[in-house]
Amino acid sequence: MAVATDASRFHAVPMAPPDPILGVSEAFRADTSDLKLNLGVGAYRTEDLQPYVLNVVKKAEKLMLEKGENKEYLPIEGLAAFNKATAELLLGADNPVIKEGRIATVQGLSGTGSLRLAAAFIQRYLPGVKVLISSPTWGNHKNILNDAGVPWSEYRYFDPKTVGLDFDGMLADMKDAPNGSIILLHGCAHNPTGIDPTTEQWDIIADVIQEKEHIAFFDVAYQGFASGSLDEDANSVRRFAARGMELFVAQSYSKNLGLYAERIGATNVITTSPELALRIKSQLKRLARPMYSNPPVHGARIVANVVGDPALFDEWRAEMQLMAGRIKQVRQKLYDELVAKDKSGKDWSFILKQIGMFSFTGLSQSQSENMTNKWHVYMTKDGRISLAGLSSAKCGYLADAIIDSYYNVQ
């Protein structure tokens, strides 16, 4: 009989570093200060800084319970009612893309899982094609592409001098990319900067993508949550689709319905014919089967019930406007406090020009570390703060922390 030893076959496995975003919350929880603020993770909080479950979600779940729906496996592509609803929310129910059947939609595991499935499709059917991502971008984009084996590079996006969009640099990098590249774009409320192109700039971006025969890949994580309007926040995608462009689109319902833990989203591919859409959908299903087999049902039913009931749908839109409105109020309050407290005359108006739950402060890594070490403000090291985790009452304290870090830390 073999004798067990202390040696392990896993001795070479290293300790992974903390996640740059989720690790912020771990550090926040360990801090015992009463002053601490968690502005790291992008999750909506009430003015009392408490998690918020939408009333419309509670009503949809009550209806589901009353119906006594079962927990049987969904098909690989997910719940049919959800797939129909999510495509129509993205493009509009009367969009020719939908009416002509030129879209392949597969339910995904929120935004991350939907991006990952699209990346697997790119790796298999567009091998070697490089994806261009904005600099900076959401930290998980690089992880997703790396793990899928998809090559990537960056295009300029953030201009530190203006704390705004480097539009000329963005266009130049897209023009310099090899023809047929894939351009990953944030549909609205760019993460982490909160800086979006204007409608006119979106049209110019589309011009360049068409001229270079690139494919646009939209990450739509905040539809309805950024401006408070589902239609306004889908404007970029709809403008591209109206040109007949082929697109990848990943969707998430974590923010706009608060379904963070339900992992509900979708992978969409818009193409040129219904026959191609069917073939693409069949291959997305083929990729999903060994990856996670089929998606969860609970969140999909919530979305389908909310969108499918006119009264619930109207209530959802009102709650989205409420959430978006609170973040806008906090953004304005923070700006007002910075202007009142900073006597140098520095222009802080970039905060008001940004949109969505995040603000890119322009603080360096060392300045961001001072925010945490001295002021107990937890944020990502790239200077991003989540306004969704800020209350009006805390804006003055945050303004003091930003001013101190900006002027007193190299």
Q: Is the dihedral angle over the CA atoms 93, 95, 99, 102 positive or is it negative?
A: negative
> What secondary structure, in 3-state letters, does 288-345 show?
HHHHHCCCCCHHHHHHHHHHHCHHHHHHHHHHHHHHHHHHHHHHHHHHHHHHHHCCCC
166, 173, 196, 219: the catalytic one is: 219
Contacting residues for 242 by C-beta, under 8 A, at least 6 apart: none
Q: Other CB atoms closer than 10 Å to residue 208's CB: what's the count?
A: 17
CA torsion 84-85-89-93 (nearest 10°) is: 60
Q: Is 202 a catalytic residue?
A: no
Query: Treating both helix axes as pointing N-terminal to C-terminal, what angle do 110-125 and 274-292 enclose, rounded to 10 degrees?
Result: 110
59, 130, 138, 173: the catalytic one is: 138
59, 130, 255, 281: the catalytic one is: 255
Q: Is 138 a catalytic residue?
A: yes
Q: How many residues does the chain have?
A: 410
DSSP reduced 3-state for 406: helix
What residues does 250 pair with on adjacent strands?
219, 267
Catalytic residues: 138, 219, 255
